[in-house]
Amino acid sequence: MPRYLVTGAGGFLGRYICEQLVARGDEVRGLARGAYPELDALGVEMVRGDLADRDAVMRACEEVDCVFHVGGMVGVWGKWFDYFQANVHGTLNVLGACREQGVTRLVFTSSPSVVFDGKDQRGVMADVPYPTRWLAHYPHSKAIAEDFVLTQDGSDVAGSGMLRTTSLRPHLVWGPRDHHLTARLVERARSGQLRRVGPGGNRVDMVYVENAAEAHLLAADELDKPEPKNAGKAYFITQAEPVDLWRWVDEILALVDLPPVTRSVSARAAYAAGALLEAKHWSSRNWRREPRMTRFVARQLATDHWFDKEAAAEDFGYRPRISTAEGMERLGVWLRSKQ
């Protein structure tokens, strides 16, 4: 029976991947820094450790056939060193462990932000070049890591054949147990701090978390075929139906009986405020606290960014099984249970 390793197993997406693997009868190991009783209860074998710890990563990869490298440092604020350690150095540790332990498949969780240049993106294909200018350390570090992963496809693995790699770029992952995207939207709306950036009407892709998890399993299964179509390639993972960003935000707020966003700020003013707040935070004692606005967030909230949906369907059969409407119902039940 193949054994699967999920790095970042205790995180939002990582936990769903573990659950889906267990549900289909696979043997699963997780790597995480903390303790997760819910994963222990599922029968997931947990290894405590940090991605920057080479020995911990090496132990986690022992007798593993496939790695889902989901773990890393997310967010839009922090020091470059921290992002580099988690996302670049950590990924190099995973690649090294895969080679030394004879792992044959690696599915890397990336982000569409690795190709975001601050401008509108409409129907973008996955082979679009990385930008030359970055507005945040997260996409920069993930792009470096993704490039390492994809260029390692087909390399020798300690006499055990070939390491096959692929990269998935799920965009705006949401759903029950999301303590980041939707939870923060609700928190800001309740505190009166939520503003629409730009005139509205910008269309974005997003993906329900269970669909994103299923895409990872499908990609790994394709890598196991004699001639996988996805080896060495990157793919956008979405609901395959872009939404009006601010209308969708209003629909999320309505799930917990909050009014729609009515106050707004221009895209230019938001970007300028982001630049000012970034400079102010770095020069203050409170630099660890994320500013209310950053240049990256300002651009993300005001632009179109939707992507090619055909490649993932054609190469490894990914199609969103859970509709946006059904996912929103499930999200609403979870959000209301937390009130």
**Catalytically annotated residues:** 138
d(CA 216, CA 228): 14
**CB contact at 8 A, 17 and 216:** yes
CA separation, residue 194 to residues 117, 191, 254, 292 (Å): 24, 8, 14, 10
Work out the burial of residue 132: count CB atoms within 10 Å of its CB; fewer than 13 is exposed, 13-18 middle, 19 or more buried.
exposed
CA distance 45 to 98: 18
- Rounded to 5 degrees, φ, ψ at 12 are -60, -60
Residue 223 tokens read as 């890598």
